[in-house]
A and B are shown apart, each in its own frame.
Chain A
Amino acid sequence: MFTLANPKHFMAASGKILPWLAAVTAVLFAAGLTLALSVPPDYQQGDAVRIMFLHVPAAWVAMMAYGLMALAAAAGLILRQPLADVAVKTAAPLGAVFTALGLITGSLWGRPMWGAFWVWDGRLTSFLLLLFLYLGVMALGNAIEDETRAARAAGILAIVGAVNLPIIHFSVTWWTTLHQGASILKKGGPAIAPVFLWPLAVMALAYTMLFVTLWIVRIRTTILERKAAVLRITGRA
């Protein structure tokens, strides 16, 4: 774990596993999308239920990405690990995209089901705030010139903002307005038919692997960019 935090070791190890990660992601998406399109239409929602397979995993990964980013930020602050700083900075835009994807697919699903693209419901509002938190971390990281300071400042904001995660998770219990309550992780097992559960699980895995793959690519790119910048400054390029 700690030897991996050395950028040199990280580059070597991640370079080896990256093609495999990308391949697994592609296979999972192919399998997940095939399954998602082959399930029978829902007895109430019809074919619109298929939006679930794009929406729910995006929302999950958006929250998981924030949790990982906050953990990386804590590691960066406590262990003073430059690699953790890079991980925070690169996770924010990815998380923002998954959050936006969750919001967009959600509103496209809400239109036929609820009759509105958007409602000011607890889950939707707290999820919109998650997007703003991601954008705030990105803005703060870009506004400070010194790389290390920028990453640490963004890290503190990321950690403080993590209070929003439990609010999002429990929002459907606290404000019972329109978004449905917990359907998968709940007492007495999932309240969703097994035919729908399997494609959902595969898609969740596919989204997670996509995030991990893109995260590693971005971390590698940032390390390479910094190397290039150093070479340029020292005149060796």
Chain B
Amino acid sequence: MSALRRLVARDLVLAIRAGGGAALALAFFAAVATLVPLGVGPDLKLLVRIAAGVLWVAAVLAALLSLDRLFQADFEDGSLDLMALSPLSLEAVALAKIAAHWLSTGLPLTLIAAVLAVAYGLPASGTVALVASLLIGTPAVSAIGGIGAALTLSIRRGGLILPFIVLPLIAPVVIFGSGAVLAELDGLANGALWFLAAFSLLAVALSPFAAAAGVRLNLGS
């Protein structure tokens, strides 16, 4: 257990310090979210309707930006071979990396989205629903993205192919994540959050196995 915690802490430090890219992903998220109102115009009525969709799409793209290096950096300098040889199973390594990615990207994205939601004119109830949906849904983005990162870790231009293979799998998260906010705004019964929670739990529970299989395959063992 402590090895797992150490691995999470190591990856977190690497992500947060210079060159890790976590801060860049957050800046990218804020930049995209700022660009959309400039593109579609400052009509608040329209912005309220599209806020959840825009913020969700921007959050997923920002998370994907930093995903391609999830295993690749350790693969290139040989650390991944050592982790594979360590008593920690590759499934646990994958889970630790996914957790570190969420803590350094998904969680701060959620916090920034709360501020941006206000700028988009979302009412308090809508903002709460958006933050809840991001909090529940972003772990699934990190987990499913982890599968893609593991499968593409030996490809030199993996950063281009990763979003393409992962986006269809992440689509349900975006659908139900922004759907939960729209249902809240319209005062409808809100089952989307429950579905999102179920999907997210399933993704986080099963993805480490698929990601570990991908790593094993690329390490050639």
Contacts and interface: CB of A to CB of B under 8 A. Distances in A.
Contacts of B133: none
A111 B210 CA distance: 41
Contact of A136 (B154, B164, B172, B214): B164
B205 interface: no
Contacts, number: 58
B217 A167 contact: no
A140 B155 CA distance: 9
Interface residues of A, number: 23
A137 B148 CA distance: 11
A161 interface: yes
B171 A129 contact: yes
Contacts of A125: 171
A140 B171 contact: no
Interface string B151-165: 110110110010011
A133 B169 CA distance: 8
Nearest to A148: B217
B50 interface: no
Interface of A, helix, strand, loop or mixed by DSSP? helix
A108 interface: no
A160 B169 contact: yes
Contacts of B165: 136-137, 139-140, 157
A77 interface: yes
Contacts of B214: 153, 156
Interface string A133-170: 10111011001100001001100110111011001000
A156 B164 contact: no
B168 A161 contact: yes
A156 B169 contact: no
A140 B168 contact: no
A99 B91 CA distance: 34
B167 A139 contact: no
Given A149-B218, A156-B213, A156-B214, 6 more contacts: A77-B213, A133-B168, A139-B164, A139-B165, A160-B210, A163-B169
